[in-house]
Amino acid sequence: MSVPTSMRRDRASLVLLLAATAWSALILVVGSLVLIPENGSGVVIVLSMPLVLVGLFSAALAWRRAHDKPGPGAVGWILAGLAALLCLVGILTIGIFLIPVAALLFIVCGRVQERRAVYA
């Protein structure tokens, strides 16, 4: 018995969201170990922003799916844009390491644009 294409696409989007979450968590853990001794504990706020954005993005997709709304919606695109803006603002320091998170969020937005929002 084969899995329907729409189900495979949902799984792929879920894998992309999990990859964005894992990368964000890795940035938080490694960045905290490296940057806290140099810059103090305030750096944790900046390092946790990608993880918070991924969590909000996943929650927005889950809400849209629960309410039978198609696509990622404006909130999904705005959150992906905020992740990209975070990369741009921090480009001279940690921004380059945040690019995979922003890229994955935009890819998920594109994947769910033409159908229902995926589960988170």
Q: What is the DSSP string of 102-114?
A: HHHHHHHHHHHTT
Query: What is the band of 60 on the pLDDT scale with cuts at 50, 70, 90?
Result: very high
85 located within any domain: yes
- The answer to whether residue 117 is domain-embedded is no
CB 58 within 8 A of CB 17: yes
Please check whether residue 52 lies inside any domain of the structure.
yes
* 118 within a domain of the structure (yes/no): no
**Average pLDDT of the segment spanning 49-77:** 92
User: Tens digits of per-residue pLDDT, 82-115?
Assistant: 999 999 998 888 889 999 999 999 999 998 876 6
62 lies in some domain: yes
Residue 119 lies inside a defined structural domain of this protein:
no
For residue 60, the surrounding DSSP H or E stretch is helix 43-66
- Count structural domains, the chain: 1
Residue 35 covered by a domain = yes
What is the mean predicted confidence (pLDDT) over 15-37? 94
Per-residue pLDDT at 18 exceeds 80: yes
pLDDT at 115: 60
* pTM, to two decimals: 0.84
pLDDT at 5 exceeding the cut of 50: no
Residue 64's domain comprises: 5-112
Q: What is the mean pLDDT of the chain?
A: 86
Is position 49 within any domain? yes
